[in-house]
Amino acid sequence: MITVRYTIFGTTEFGPTRVGALLGVLLAGAGQVVTAEELVERVLGDDPPPRARAMMQTWLTRLRQTLPGLIERDGNGYVVRVDPLEIDLHLFRHLVRTGKTADALALVQDELLSTLDTPWARQLRADFADELLAARLDHVDERLARGEHAKLVPELHTLAAGRPLDERIAAQLIEALHGSGRAAEALRHFEVVRARLAGALGAEPSRHLATLHRRLQAASAPRQLPAAPKPFTGRALELAELDQAPNGVVVITGTGGVGKTSLAVHWAHQAMDRFPDGQLYVNLHGFGPSGAAVSPGDALLRFLSALDVPRAQVPHDLAGQSALLRDALADKRVLMLLDNATDAEQVEPLLPRSPNAHVVITSRTSLRPAHAKALPLGLLPPEDARELLAARIGHDRARAEPDAVDTVVRRCARLPLALAVAGARAATQPQFPLAALADELADLDAFADDDDVTADLRSVFSHSCKALSPAALRLFRLLGLMPGSDISLAGAASLAALDVRETEALLAELATANLIDQPEPGRFTCHDLLRDYAAELALAGERDEALHRLLDHLALTGVEAGVAYTPNRHRPATPPPAPGVVVLRFGTHEEALAWLMAEHPTLMAAMPHGTPAQTWLMGWSLADALARQACYQDLLTSQQLAVAAVEQLDDPDGLGRTLINLGRGLSRMRRPDEATAALHRAFDVYEGNPAGQAGVLLNIAMLCPDDRIGEAMEHTRRGLALFEECGDSYGQANALTGLAWGHGKIGEYAEAVEYAERAMRMWREMDHLIGQAEAWDNLGTGYLGLGDHAKAAEAFTRSSEMFRLGGDLPLEAGAYEQLGDTHAAAGAAEPAREAWRKAVELRTQAGLPTDKVRAKLQAEGQ
């Protein structure tokens, strides 16, 4: 093993002395003759003192006495006679050449010849910095190859910030982000780098970076198709028609259970190569028993999210969202599968109308969007039906009882859904003669009706249910009551008042019987015909209590999620859960948001069915998440339902808070007059509650446009007085922040600083990060207006750092933009451009317009 004897990363063994510097110079050139003149220049610089040669000779003599045999005279110069691999610098280079970058990097603990400050030494350090960076990036490549993507992201972010135009670092960061599951962020970073290169150099990305971008685009294309159905048999004619259909719209129609979805999904998997830019899928639940069909707006948001369109770019109206989807798909070869559609009105806003996009719709109705091709689907031909059953129960078993196979096929009406359920039962009981199963179905022939295939399905379902354990059968009955299209494990446990583990085992039994599906871990659903049948079986005495337990679970878990998501919200009073209800709790903000968004459709579907208390608690739970996730239509709908519910309760505080949330929803939907009316009503409801009225006043102030800043400040002053009256520190800090902002907007900068300093003291006492960030931001505005550029720059720098820690990209971008404005006002052009470029980068990441900041860059000669 090589042992380093001589170290020049930092100082030599002689320390920060001229003798040590001389030794470092000789070691750096080990094996090479260095003349006396070169030694003087390298150790003493371009302007050496008198008698420099004599001084150098004295130091050389000392070195040769202390380290005998190391330094020799060679002609008119000196040379170090030692194995270069005993010197850390040369060992570093050897390790890099031999691919041992981790060992090489471990040697570099300090700056090269750190105590020597001559032009030669500075150039040596600059050259070595390039070597070190190259080695570091080589090591990054090795770690990426080992799959350490997530660990590398912070390091690469730091490297990229220091070298914003380095395309190798950009490529590594993009690859690390993508490998960490952050595909959208990876693609956005490419756009940021492309914009930087164009702005700074007038250049396009290198071929390597562009190739990586194309590869990641393909890898990041949405792949939303459900798993391909197994087994799948028959439908050769229909598959051929789908293959031959040109890009456009195909509508597969047929009765429930006939296999429309299986056909569409099976073909889509076969045709994936034709659509390299991705496959989009949504189950529109047009015929679910709860009537909770997916709205076009909800489907559009799912698609836009899958296409990595930043939420900030998504309009709030249906027409705007539809147009944005068409723009996003304009040049893409994409397959869109709209499953279980109700009517043309549900699908029209989703159609891309692009020559490269292809849409397949399944529906029980003969809906006909413009220029759509109809593909009606009938019952399976007898031979295909026999093959489907045989594939499920085993071909040997089917060949052994061909008559029984024919009987089961006939009594299942050749419907794939019925055959799947019957086959699942037979497959789980291999010792059970198939003829016996056929005989069980025989007494139900009277229910068969050529015009009503659901009667035959009902008979098949009934016999499959007979094979269930009593507990599984009870759970199946209750699942028919769920208000949404799917249910979580905890929700199912609450519905049945069972232990979670026991519920999980029963759900597995139902899945084995092909009565439910698990489309993703922890969530369960079933075909709408099965849900209809399950609901028919539910006993009158168990319906109300079971549904109440499920709604209790949603409402009370929703409160826990709402508090975890926004910790400073005042927790509403909640009733105790009904016996058997599972109430989840959340350790982090992220866990709470994940639950709220996963349950968002279920909560929306459940709200109309709850008690007044349950409904308003569900609305309270959703309010902040829907507002921050820009789901403004659902925010409005949920708060309208919540207001109607809480009006039935003796809870003025709950009504006031819900009216405030309703005002937020109306404001986001651009209905300011109604929003103002809701907030004024909230103010009246809070009569006798100064803190409540103060909160309303701050929300009314937020509705005021820029030309009514004075009115907004008056509302805020009244709110501050009320918060002071009741001793509400958090409310006071919010009001002071609003006043600081308002004074800054109208040019009263000294007052802006005064209010911001008061707010800062309170935010610091509460250790409130975003509050402090906003206070620094307002201080920056005040100092800039007063002409104190140094203080303004410091304030905006602090503000941007805190907004970054708080995870608020738009506000961080705003702070950087104002930091650039401050530098520009101080005449510091390059720092201004640097700050503005950072603002452009952040606004790009957040999906916000960048035109205004780019105009500032162009005006400064970017």
The verdict on pTM exceeding 0.75 is: no
Regions of the chain short of the pLDDT cut 50 = 1, 443-455
Please name which of 204, 467, 248 lies closest in space to residue 352, comparing C-alpha atoms: 248
| Residue showing tokens 């905890």 | 490
Residues 243 and 350 in one domain: yes
Distance CA 253, CA 259 (A): 10
Q: Residue 613 belongs to what domain range? A: 544-681
> What is the per-residue pLDDT for 15?
67
Peptide bond into 246 cis (omega under 30): no
Q: Is residue 473 part of a domain?
A: no
Residues 415 and 359 in one domain: no
Residues 573 and 624 in one domain: yes
Do strands 372-376 and 249-253 pair parallel, antiparallel, or not at all (unpaired)? Answer: parallel
Q: Which of 376, 409, 436 represents a domain boundary (last residue)? A: 376
- Could you read off the pLDDT of 214-228 as tens digits, one per residue? 777 766 678 888 888
- Tell me how many domains the chain contains: 6
Coil/strand/helix, residue 748:
coil
Q: Is residue 630 part of a domain?
A: yes
In this structure, the number of other CB atoms found within 10 A of the CB of residue 588 comes to 10
By the 8 A CB rule, do 461 and 533 touch? yes
Residues 72 and 155 in one domain: no
Residues 561 and 674 in one domain: yes
* Residues contacting 196, CB < 8 A, separation 6+: 164, 165, 837, 841
Distance CA 307, CA 188 (A): 12
What burial class does residue 213 get, using C-beta atoms within 10 Å of its C-beta: 0-12 exposed, 13-18 middle, 19+ buried? buried
CA–CA distance from 96 to each of 88, 89, 104, 285, 462 (Å)? 12, 11, 6, 60, 72
In this structure, the number of other CB atoms found within 10 A of the CB of residue 403 comes to 10
By the 8 A CB rule, do 193 and 209 touch? yes
Coil/strand/helix, residue 444:
coil
Using only the alpha carbons of the chain, give its radius of gyration.
35
Coil/strand/helix, residue 828:
coil
Residues 371 and 399 in one domain: no
- The number of residues in the chain equals 862
Q: What is the SS3 string spanning 635-661?
A: HHHHHHHHHHHHCCCCCHHHHHHHHHH
Coil/strand/helix, residue 373:
strand
- Could you read off the pLDDT of 510-535 as tens digits, one per residue? 887 777 878 778 899 887 767 878 88
Q: Is residue 790 part of a domain?
A: yes
What does residue 469 show for φ and ψ, rounded to 5 degrees? -65, 155
Residues 619 and 739 in one domain: no
Residues 244 and 348 in one domain: yes
> Which residues are bridge partners to 373 per DSSP?
250
> What is the per-residue pLDDT for 452?
45
Residues 779 and 761 in one domain: yes
Q: Which of 616, 648, 681 represents a domain boundary (last residue)? A: 681
Distance CA 464, CA 476 (A): 11
What burial class does residue 287 get, using C-beta atoms within 10 Å of its C-beta: 0-12 exposed, 13-18 middle, 19+ buried? middle
| Residue showing tokens 């400073």 | 568
* Residues contacting 70, CB < 8 A, separation 6+: 63, 64, 80, 81, 82
Q: In CATH, what number is assigned to the domain containing residue 115? A: 1.10.10.10
Q: Is residue 769 part of a domain?
A: yes
CA–CA distance from 696 to each of 649, 676, 683, 735 (Å)? 21, 10, 6, 11
By the 8 A CB rule, do 722 and 697 touch? yes
Residues 110 and 160 in one domain: no
Residues 734 and 832 in one domain: yes
In this structure, the number of other CB atoms found within 10 A of the CB of residue 489 comes to 18
By the 8 A CB rule, do 550 and 495 touch? yes
What burial class does residue 42 get, using C-beta atoms within 10 Å of its C-beta: 0-12 exposed, 13-18 middle, 19+ buried? buried
Q: Is residue 535 part of a domain?
A: no
Q: Is residue 840 part of a domain?
A: yes
Q: Is residue 479 part of a domain?
A: no
By the 8 A CB rule, do 795 and 762 touch? no
Do strands 358-363 and 372-376 pair parallel, antiparallel, or not at all (unpaired)? Answer: unpaired
Please name which of 361, 210, 212 lies closest in space to residue 281, comparing C-alpha atoms: 361
Coil/strand/helix, residue 524:
strand
By the 8 A CB rule, do 423 and 431 touch? no
Q: Which of 647, 681, 715 represents a domain boundary (last residue)? A: 681
* Residues contacting 850, CB < 8 A, separation 6+: 840, 843, 844
Q: In CATH, what number is assigned to the domain containing residue 822? A: 1.25.40.10
Q: Is residue 482 part of a domain?
A: no
> What is the per-residue pLDDT for 312?
65
Residues 677 and 548 in one domain: yes
Q: In CATH, what number is assigned to the domain containing residue 246? A: 3.40.50.300
